[in-house]
Amino acid sequence: MSGTVEAHAEGAPDRRFANADLLPAETGEFRWRWWDFAAIWVCVSWSLASLMLSGMPGQDRFTWPQTLLICGVAQFVVLLPSFLVEHAGDRYGVPFAVFARSAFGVRGAALPALLRFASACVFFGFQADLGVQGIQLLTGGLGEYDGDSFFNPAYLVFLALQLWIITKGPNGLRRFADLAAPVLIVGLVVAFLWASAHGTGPVLPEPARPIGWGADFWLAAAPALASATALFAAVGLTVPDLVHLGSSGRRAEGTGRRLGVGLLLPVLMTGILLYTMALMSLSAYGTDGYSGSLTVHALSDMPGGSVVAAAMLIVATLCGNLGLNLVSAGYDLSSTAPSVLGFRGAAVLAALAGTAVAWWARSSSDYEVLSWASLAEGFFGTVSGILAVEYWIVRRTRLRPADLYRAGGPYWYTGGWNWRAVVAFAAGGVLAVGGSSEGTGADGPLLPFLAPLDDFGWLVGLVVAGGLYAVLTLRARSARAGD
């Protein structure tokens, strides 16, 4: 971003806490429009849809309306708090890691920022596999993984493509998404038409033992909803960083534009989910929902099908992986050391860190890092709860953006940290993930008495952390008013 320090009427921010990429998007450089968001949402939805369907417990017994209902509720649960948080980014033009300073403190915001950065880095390296698979389709298996040679030519080519796009900044991603979405949509249409003409299954899945709509469904839907919610957790905290890019010069459109952009994601996600179920069913694909395998399977007998599948995998994964992981990781890392790292440099470091983690996991056959990343995402609900309460209840949507970049202001608290946010974060996080056995290295959860909360850890963290933060903050305000 080309914004300058002098652009702030309220005074120049402290350069220890600001750089040109972190300043409010007020200069007009970031002109993300609704179709730009639609383009990236299409790619993100295709990257997530089949992963969600494959990871849903009991998915072989749910009818397609039941599956859509579960996924729709999961989206609502995660994205509603996300849109509440996104409002600040859209209104004031600040990225998530800067807005988080209003609740956690100018320095304390590094806590949620680094947590999100670590999770994004881990998933960046592993999600790149889809794009690597596309390159291998085009090249006849260039650099197949054999367990010891992770840095094969196909991965290096795909990594170079990702770095080339992200070093052009957020607008580089926007321009690529505008090109990628039409390619993906054409591929989706071609795949569906081919599967409709040559497929052996029904148009939509018909489970052999449907679960019905009675009590059995609601019992089975609980873990399925928890699984879908967990998958959306990272998306929920990524949305604010993307949406804030559309705030520049467009505030006059107000709530209508914001609501429209927000609704694009769940609408497109639901449509892609329905499409994915149909493609799975028509092509009789029943092993898992890995989107790369589904694409290749559906087009395996089509002349030129490997080229179509490769194009879909490459463009969707480039757009989705950058949008979901590198954009947020770049802003997060840059916010912790603004005087040293800008967005582009931080994003490159995040890509290299994600590559190193994935290489280490594969070379050592230790995939526990994925469990640790999933465990970290359990804290995302706590962050959303705290920030939503801070912005809507404590601040009443009124922020002083210039003070987000300075010491000594209302967001400095004590030494740059707000202990109330940290306490709420810790309490909500313990309840959210304490009953999980993921990433603990043990046979069971570290806190067995919390195991019943594990299925709904994200929601528990949201409610507990948000509620505790509201109590601590509003009580302190009342005490000061009574003095």
Domain architecture of the chain: domains with CATH = 25-366 (1.10.4160.10)
Residue 86 confidence class, pLDDT cut points 50, 70, 90: confident
pLDDT at 181 over 50: yes
Instruction: Report the chain's mean pLDDT, rounded to a whole number.
Output: 80
Residue 479 confidence class, pLDDT cut points 50, 70, 90: low
Report the pLDDT averaged over residues 448-467. Answer: 83
- Cβ distance 420 to 108 under 8 Å? no
Report CA 46 to chain centroid distance, whole Å: 13
pLDDT at 253: 47
- Give the least confident one: 93-107, 145-159, 384-398: 145-159
Residue 251 confidence class, pLDDT cut points 50, 70, 90: very low
pLDDT at 225: 82
pLDDT at 349 over 70: yes
Residue 265 confidence class, pLDDT cut points 50, 70, 90: confident
Q: Which of these, 45, 87, 75, 355, lies nearest to 246 by C-alpha position?
A: 87
Cα 320 to Cα 268: distance, rounded to the nearest angstrom:
14
* Residue 223: CB atoms within 10 Å: 15
Specify the higher pLDDT residue, 451 or 341: 341
Residue 256 confidence class, pLDDT cut points 50, 70, 90: very low
What are residue 41's DSSP bridge partners?
A: none
pLDDT at 257: 52
Which residue reads 């690597």 in tokens? 132
pLDDT at 391: 93
Report the pLDDT averaged over residues 29-34. Answer: 66
Cα 331 to Cα 114: distance, rounded to the nearest angstrom:
10
Specify the higher pLDDT residue, 333 or 137: 333
Of the chain, the percentage scoring pLDDT greater than 90 comes to 25
pLDDT at 286: 65
396 burial class (0-12, 13-18, 19+ CB within 10 angstroms)?
exposed
Handedness of CA 430, 436, 439, 445 (dihedral sign): positive
pLDDT at 473: 93
Residue 182 confidence class, pLDDT cut points 50, 70, 90: very high
pLDDT at 334: 94
Report the pLDDT averaged over residues 221-245. Answer: 76
pLDDT at 336: 93
What are residue 417's DSSP bridge partners?
A: 414
Residue 441 confidence class, pLDDT cut points 50, 70, 90: low
Cα 476 to Cα 325: distance, rounded to the nearest angstrom:
37
pLDDT at 250: 45
Report the pLDDT averaged over residues 155-181. Answer: 90
Cα 224 to Cα 278: distance, rounded to the nearest angstrom:
20
And the tokens for 231? 């998958």
pLDDT at 3: 37
* Residue 367: CB atoms within 10 Å: 12
Report the pLDDT averaged over residues 156-176. Answer: 90
Specify the higher pLDDT residue, 167 or 93: 167
Report the pLDDT averaged over residues 195-203. Answer: 84
Cα 295 to Cα 309: distance, rounded to the nearest angstrom:
6
- Cβ distance 461 to 379 under 8 Å? yes
- Cβ distance 92 to 245 under 8 Å? no
Cα 171 to Cα 132: distance, rounded to the nearest angstrom:
24
pLDDT at 87: 82
pLDDT at 150: 55
Residue 242 confidence class, pLDDT cut points 50, 70, 90: confident
Phi, psi angle pair for 99, to nearest 5°: -60, -35
Report the pLDDT averaged over residues 9-38. Answer: 73
Residue 249 confidence class, pLDDT cut points 50, 70, 90: very low
What is the phi-psi region of residue 342: left when phi exceeds 0, alpha when psi lies from -120 to 50, beta otherwise? beta
Report the pLDDT averaged over residues 469-482. Answer: 79
363-372 pLDDT, tens digit per residue, is 776 666 666 7
pLDDT at 345: 93
